[in-house]
Amino acid sequence: MIRLYPEALPMVSIDLHCHSTASDGVLSPTDLVLRAASRGVQVLALTDHDDTAGLEEARAACADRGIRLVNGVEISVSWRQQTVHVVGLGIDPRVPALAQGLASVRAGREARARRIADALAKCGIRGGLEGAYAFAANPRLIGRTHFARFLVAQGHVKEMKDVFRKYLARGKPGYVSHQWASLAEAAGWIAAAGGVAVIAHPGRYPLSGAEFAELFSEFRDLGGGGIEVVTSSHNREQSLKFAREAQRFGLLASRGSDFHGPGESHCDLGALPELPPACLPLWQHRALH
Ligand code: AMP
Ligand code: MN
Ligand code: MN
Ligand code: MN
């Protein structure tokens, strides 16, 4: 992963992207909030993959500590053969359209997990399915990170950063293709739940300039509201590039660490540079107020 560029932290510490044990994070929602508080985070969005199960506990933990919790989720989407993550912020997790949509994505994850385990078995690694579930604190939400922790624990690879490169990334023996939600579905579920949709870490998608333009205009036409401009996945150049893209497509600029856990993430909660100048910050969106 790319290292963050050193810059001053903003006056108000806002982190709109992180994970708990409700998906593939290491910390429980409570421990995540305690860590955020100790690091001076004032506005925090919990954005677990395809599940909102951690929000209630996170809200209770935030209440006493003067942190404002933004209800979030990170939805897995397939757009033209490419996996794209769409963060929903300021959502009401009880809205049936969203809850049912996320349940359908999770069902797809279960089926994919069986196929990943079969693929790993073909290269001699047995017990992958049970092994991955043993690392999933939320049995409704299984993902590649849980397989990665299993493979590290079994000694197949030394470190988390090697396991995707060797086994789980596209083209590797444990990778299987998968059809996630459509961009229109994800945007629709988030809108129905009263939230604002944000394209997560665009710098991670291997798209051409023309394809990015198509993604962002299609997303905006579907009611999408923002782009993650500052994220641990971006270097400074990428943040500047996507700040320009946000302006060009009339989208707001978001900022989130994508923290998964101490030891697994090089960017800690709230440890992010400010948005580049001239960005319209996503936290001004009405869904967050
Ligand atoms: P999934 O949604 O189950 O396909 O898993 C995607 C998750 O795997 C991401 O949210 C990250 O937490 C993790 N991940 C993906 N690629 C890498 C990588 N190269 N190194 C470490 N973690 C990764
Ligand atoms: Mn993840
Ligand atoms: Mn993501
Ligand atoms: Mn994430």
In tens, the pLDDT along 265-279 reads 999 999 999 999 989
Strands (E), the chain: 14-15, 43-46, 68-79, 82-89, 196-199, 226-231, 252-256
The predicted structure's pLDDT at residue 12: 86
The predicted structure's pLDDT at residue 5: 47
Residue with tokens 């942190």: 67
**Of the residues 164, 233, 260, which should be mutated to test ligand 1's pocket, given the most ligand atoms within 8 Å of the CB?**
164
**Ligand 1 centroid, distance to 168 Cα (angstroms):** 9
CA-based nearest residue to 48, from 83, 78, 21, 30: 21
Ligand 1 pocket member 204 (CB < 6 A): no
pTM of the model: 0.96
Q: Could you tell me the maximum CA-CA distance found in the chain, to the nearest angstrom?
A: 53
The predicted structure's pLDDT at residue 241: 98
Ligand 1 pocket member 255 (CB < 6 A): no
Round to whole Å and give the CA distance between 76 and 29: 21
Q: Which residues of the chain have pLDDT under 50?
A: 1-9
The predicted structure's pLDDT at residue 6: 46
The residue type of 155 is G
Number of Cβ atoms within 10 Å of the Cβ of 186? 32
Q: Within 13 Å, how many C-alpha atoms sit on residue 34's CB side?
A: 6
Strands (E), 124-233: 196-199, 226-231
The predicted structure's pLDDT at residue 282: 98
